Amino acid sequence: MAGTTNHDYHILPPDIWPITGAFSALAFTSGMVLFMHDLSGWPIVMGLGIAGLIATFFTWFSNIVKEAHAGHHTPVVQLHLRYGMILFIASEVMFFVGWFWAFFDFSLFPSQIAEVVGGQFPPKAIEAVMDPFDLPLLNTLILLCSGTTVTWAHHSLIHGDRDGLKKGLWITVLLGLLFTSIQAYEYAHAPFPFGENTYGSAFYMATGFHGFHVIVGTIFLIVCLVRAYKGHFTPRQHFGFEAAAWYWHFVDVVWLFLFVAVYVWGGWGAPIH
């Protein structure tokens, strides 16, 4: 009786994965620094960091799933998990605010860096920009459709329609993979490289990090799809899926801002590739 739980909170046992994840992140970032400075040993350091992060994510999230099945995710715990996800997405929003800030600073005040961009934006070195109403518009429609399908999957889950849940997740995952493939093709045929001027750097950093988030979100949804086939989610308890849906909608909204600000407005008046 002394060990009986008589409260709504889940007291976590001691775990090695938080400190493992911290040292893995340190190894990964250290490997990136070595790579950027063209120093030897970076593949080993970065490889160890990536392997440690993958092991941490897989094991830590598996433990969270086990806690849910064990009944530890009470309504109070689920509420706090939602708070945590909201704060995480808020931090991601501020991450992208930094890239938007840089892009708008370069574009609205080109005279401040006239020696770099020639007093205009896009810079004179940019002979042509992406056509926003070609592949970028197609990718916009793909992401908007994927936001609809993940919402369909969510509503199907809430109403006990597991077949609709699986179909919605399948379509969302395929649309995410299609988006990534089109963006990779766009990069391969881009009329300007990364790093030669402020336009190219800001463009690739903003859209590239968004593409990375699409890949992460797609993996997130694939995990939810596997769990759906295992019958993990119920209409009353499905925070894992809900967090994935929130993250995917965040990716959708960020892309809309990128499409309007970077592709359409940022290249307005410049020659089209």
| CATH code, 200 | 1.20.120.80
pLDDT score recorded for residue 197? 76
Query: What is the domain count for the chain?
Result: 2
Last residue within a domain, chosen from 72, 89, 121: 72
* Alpha-carbon span 273 to 271, nearest angstrom: 7
**Residue 49 structural domain:** 9-72
Residue 235 shares a structural domain with residue 153: yes
Residue 39 shares a structural domain with residue 112: no
* Alpha-carbon span 190 to 194, nearest angstrom: 10
In a domain, 194, yes or no: yes
In a domain, 2, yes or no: no
What would the DSSP string read from start to end of 189-221? T-SS-SSSSHHHHHHHHHHHHHHHHHHHHHHHH
In a domain, 272, yes or no: no
In a domain, 205, yes or no: yes
In 159-197, where does DSSP find H-type helix? 162-188
Query: Are 182 and 190 within 8 A, CB to CB?
Result: no
Residue 224 shares a structural domain with residue 90: yes
In the chain, where does DSSP find H-type helix? 17-36, 42-69, 75-108, 114-117, 135-158, 162-188, 198-229, 239-258
Query: What is the pLDDT tens value at each position of the chain, 273 positions in all?
Result: 444 556 788 888 888 999 999 999 999 999 999 998 989 899 999 999 999 999 999 999 899 888 888 888 888 888 999 999 999 999 999 999 999 998 888 778 766 555 555 566 777 777 778 888 999 999 999 999 999 999 999 999 999 999 999 999 999 999 999 999 999 999 998 888 887 777 888 889 999 999 999 999 999 999 999 999 998 888 888 889 999 999 999 999 999 999 999 999 887 766 676
Residue 28 shares a structural domain with residue 125: no
Instruction: Check residue 263 and report its DSSP letter.
Output: I
The answer to whether the Cα torsion of 75, 76, 80, 81 is positive or negative is negative
Residue 199 shares a structural domain with residue 163: yes
Last residue within a domain, chosen from 53, 72, 91: 72
pLDDT score recorded for residue 270? 66
Last residue within a domain, chosen from 23, 41, 72: 72
In a domain, 17, yes or no: yes
In the numeric block, which tokens belong to residue 268?
Answer: 């307005």
Instruction: Check residue 12 and report its DSSP letter.
Output: P
Reference 10, options 83, 87, 71, 82; nearest CA is: 71
In a domain, 257, yes or no: yes
Residue 22 shares a structural domain with residue 101: no
Residue 77 shares a structural domain with residue 162: yes
Residue 22 shares a structural domain with residue 148: no
Contacts 24+ apart (CB under 8 A), 218-226: 218/173, 218/176, 218/177, 218/180, 220/244, 220/247, 220/248, 221/150, 221/169, 221/172, 221/173, 221/176, 221/248, 222/173, 223/61, 224/169, 225/166, 225/169, 225/170, 225/173
In a domain, 57, yes or no: yes
Residue 23 shares a structural domain with residue 65: yes
In a domain, 162, yes or no: yes
pLDDT score recorded for residue 1? 44
**pTM to 2 decimals?**
0.87
Residue 172 shares a structural domain with residue 246: yes
Instruction: Check residue 112 and report its DSSP letter.
Output: G
Residue 83 shares a structural domain with residue 55: no
Residues pairing with 272 in the sheet:
129
Read off the CATH number of the domain in which 32 is found: 1.10.287.70
